[in-house]
Amino acid sequence: MSVRTHLAPSPQARAWAEAVAIPVIAIAVAFVASPRDPFLVNATFPWLWFAPVLVALRYGLAPAVLSLAILVVSFVAARLGLPALHIHRLPQGQFLGGIMLTLLAGEYGSLWILRLRRSEQMSRYAAQQLERLTRALHMTRLSHDRLEQTLIGKPVTLRDSLRELRHELATHGGALTGELAARLLHLTAYHGGFEQAALYAVSGDVIEPEPRAHIGEAFALDPDDILIRRCCEKHRTAYWAANSLKDEEHSAYLVAAPMLTSGDNLLGVLVVASMPFLFLQDENLLTVGVLLAYVADDAKAARTAQDMLQSLPQCPPRFAAETVKLARCARDLNLASSLVTTAITVADDSLREAILDDLATLARGLDDNWRIMALGVSRLVTLLPFGKRSVAEGYVHRLQARLDEKFGLTPGDATFSVSIHEIRGGDTLPVLRAAAGVDDGH
């Protein structure tokens, strides 16, 4: 993250600053334009009221009230402290109309600011899900290609390796331990052909000086290296190429790849000092970048849902993390979401698997499924992001129609029960435990 990003004022601070600055500037301009009537009391139009109305439309009701107060206090102070201005009367109609106009504009602005925040949050969530889906698709294709080329002496697939890494991350709360970093580094080296590389963790936008793991001969890290700086500032893989560096620029490394989450959080940097020339190509670097990003998302999910995973260790970290994220949206933006639990009791295990597989296909693009297999009763918990109870009820109707249409089971063959659990902010653990049936003793 660049220094400019750190120094930029927050939107809330900027709103309050402009709420003060705009009316002050308007009063100053009026003083210059009309020294004898700076508040434009005798003007044909109350131009000065544009200042609080502008603040109201841009930032909402609360900053508008502040601008309004500055304008009123300035008028009263000028009337009492500056007799040379000859302000003998309070224009009650003008002030009353201006106050009402500002309050109405502030209410209108606040309403649309909230709607805009909701829309942006939903768009951001959809973009992150699309990014994760793209990475998962690339990993599936890569795993399939590698599986076809796997030697008999190396039967471990990429999917198995990522599953083990995910389990380790969930166990350690998303921390990039030395053992986990070493396994991730060897996995990326196998697919990227690295001979000398190191994986560094990032804490507070600062790269740790000591690597969490390295392969080949150890080397010192130069945080001011051109590739390291480009990687950290642009959050993209930077690599040495003849046309990428200027004549006066030089790098001691070949590749610097970020360990970046879908939310653009930098968790680590992979630095490659030596690798065969033929492996320095876009496809290999893309593979390495997707590997790092895939593990970074798992690490972020494990950190976000660490407390929840201690109570529900069988819950997938990403599912738990998405539940926590949606609970925040419900609390801050009043965007409710739902969990739908389908409990199935079938004696035939193969039929039960077929039913769960078929019901999982009913999920929408942003939905996520958590399959809970247990003796007697199996559950499919479906997360419906930004889906209110009416959306969840519509999903239940589609689910029941699908069961009747495709399987046509009688009560003697199987039993089904469906429950809806709303996510409305606050502690999500009780909601998730109820959806998983943990508190029911099953």
The per-residue pLDDT for range 158-191, each reduced to its tens digit, is 666 777 777 778 777 778 888 888 888 888 888 7
Rg over CA atoms, the chain: 30
Q: 347, exposed or middle or buried, with CB in 10 Å at 0-12, 13-18, 19+?
A: exposed
CA distances to 149, 190, 254, 370 from 193, in Å: 15, 6, 12, 36
Cα 8 from chain centroid?
20
Cα–Cα dist 57/55, whole Å:
6
The pLDDT of residue 8 is above 60:
no
Tell me what the mean pLDDT of segment 221-225 comes to.
Answer: 89
| C-alpha to C-alpha distance for 88 and 193, rounded to whole angstroms | 85
Q: Is 220 exposed, middle or buried (0-12, 13-18, 19+ CB in 10 A)?
A: exposed
Q: What's the mean per-residue pLDDT of the chain?
A: 79
If you average pLDDT over residues 8-12, what whole number do you get?
Answer: 55
pLDDT winner (highest mean) among 20-34, 74-88, 427-441 = 20-34
Highest mean pLDDT among 3-12, 27-36, 337-346: 337-346
Q: Which two tokens stand for residue 259?
A: 């360990």
Question: What DSSP character marks residue 304?
Answer: H
User: Element (H or E) spanning 317, and its range?
Assistant: helix 317-333
Q: Which of 245-254, 256-265, 292-301, 304-313 has the lowest mean pLDDT?
A: 245-254
Confidence band for 199, pLDDT divided at 50, 70 and 90: very high
For residues 347 and 342, give the distance between their C-alpha atoms in angstroms, rounded to a whole number: 16
Which amino acid is located at 117 in the chain?
R
Task: Give the helix/strand (H/E) hosting 328.
Answer: helix 317-333
Q: Is the dihedral of CA 241, 245, 248, 252 positive or negative?
A: negative
d(Cα 419, Cα 393) in Å, to the nearest integer? 10
Query: What topology is assigned to 310-436 in CATH?
Result: Alpha-Beta Plaits (3.30.70)
Range with lowest mean pLDDT among 8-22, 97-111, 135-149, 223-237: 135-149
Out of 80-89, 225-234, 245-254, least confident range: 80-89
pLDDT: which is higher, 148 or 162: 162
Measured at the alpha carbon of residue 246, what is the angle toward residues 243 and 248, in degrees to the nearest 5? 145
Tell me if the pTM is above 0.85. no
- The domain 150-304 is placed in CATH, from the list 3.10.580.10, 3.90.1150.10, 3.30.450.40, 3.30.365.10, at 3.30.450.40
CA separation for the pair 12, 102 (Å, rounded): 19
- Per-residue pLDDT, 1: 38
Under 8 Å between Cβ of 173 and 184: no
Tell me what pLDDT residue 440 has.
Answer: 55
Helix ranges restricted to H, 82-215: 92-149, 158-171, 178-192
| pLDDT tens, residue by residue, 44-100 | 777 888 888 999 988 888 888 898 888 888 877 776 666 555 555 667 777 788 888
Strands (E), 204-336: 206-207, 213-215, 238-239, 255-260, 266-274
Q: So what's the pLDDT on residue 4?
A: 35
pLDDT of residue 153: 39
